[in-house]
Structure formats: structure tokens, C-alpha cells
Copies of this chain bind each other. A is one copy, B any other.
Amino acid sequence: MAQPRKSTQANRRRGGPRPGVPGPDDQARGHHRTRQAHLVEVAEDYVETIADLLEVQGEARAVDLARRFGVSHVTVTKTVSRLQEAGLVTSRPYRAIFLTPAGRRLAAKCRHRHRVVVELLRKLGVREGTARLDAEGIEHHISSETLAAFERFAGRPAAPENTAR
């Protein structure tokens, strides 16, 4: 009932064999996004979508966002009020939702990043629809360094066969 235990626990305690493990700390830094960063993702998705709606139909309503995100309007309302506290959007009772300057800045940044990701995927041969879908998930996890790399690649003559541009 206590087979594979002995050695390892002692090892850990004495700082035993930890060959090529990434190391507890920098791994933690990477994964620490798990919770905190999720809030950022949500914020980014919202401001991006709100910006879209504002552009297309002049205003963004909770019900529009709910349809876009596939959630109930109640969920949207709660999230929007959090974003309002964060200073990204403005909303008054029974009125549409608009972006603050900070919200507009964030939206612009997200949009650009989103476009870059889509273009990269397209250049790699991913179909339009899939590219858009995947980009929505990927875009939130791209550092500025990676974004720059994507821009370099996407903004180029591209791969041999896709010379069509």
C-alpha cells in the first residue's frame, strides 16, 4: 500500500533529481493566466464586439451581445456592469452600451491583433471560416513579441505556392 512513495518524497525534500523540468516558478508564471487573465479575455471579447456593433448599427444593445456570445442577456448585463466599473464601457439604464476612450483603445488593439492572426492562419493555408473561429481563441494569448513575428510573416510575399497574395 506504499510502494512508489519512499524514494520520491525523500528526493523532493532533499532537492533530488529534477532533470529537465521547466522549474516550478516560471511554469507557474505561465499558467497563472488561468484565472486573472480570463477576465482580460472577456473584456477583450466584449469591447471588440461592442466596437463592431457600434460601427455596423450605431449602437450596441445587451441583446445583440447576448446573441453574439450565445449567452443570456442577463449574463451580458452583469459582465457589462463589471466592464463599466473597469472603465471600459458606459451604459445607462435602458440605453445602449458605448465604449469609453480606454475601451476604444483596447478594441482597436484587439481588432488589429485579430486581423493579424487571421491573416497568418490564412497564409498557412487555413480556410477562412476556421481561421476566424480559431483566431478568436488564439488572439488573447499572443505576446507582443509573437504578434510582431506574425506581422512580419503575414505582411510578406508569403509562402511559395500562395504567391497570389
A57 close to B12 (CB less than 8 A): yes
A132: chain B residues at CB < 8 Å are 22, 30
- The residue in A70, A127, A142 that gathers the most chain B C-beta atoms within 10 A of its C-beta is A70
| B-contacting 9-mer, from A81-89, A105-113, A152-160 | A152-160
* This chain: copies in complex: 2
A14: chain B residues at CB < 8 Å are none
* Chain A, interface SS category: helix
Closest-by-CB residue of B relative to A139 is: B141
Contact of A159 among B4, B34, B57, B159 (CB under 8 A): B159
B57 close to A17 (CB less than 8 A): yes
Contact of A5 among B71, B96, B153 (CB under 8 A): B96
A146 close to B121 (CB less than 8 A): yes
Q: How far does the alpha carbon of A149 sit from the alpha carbon of B127 in the complex, in Å?
A: 10
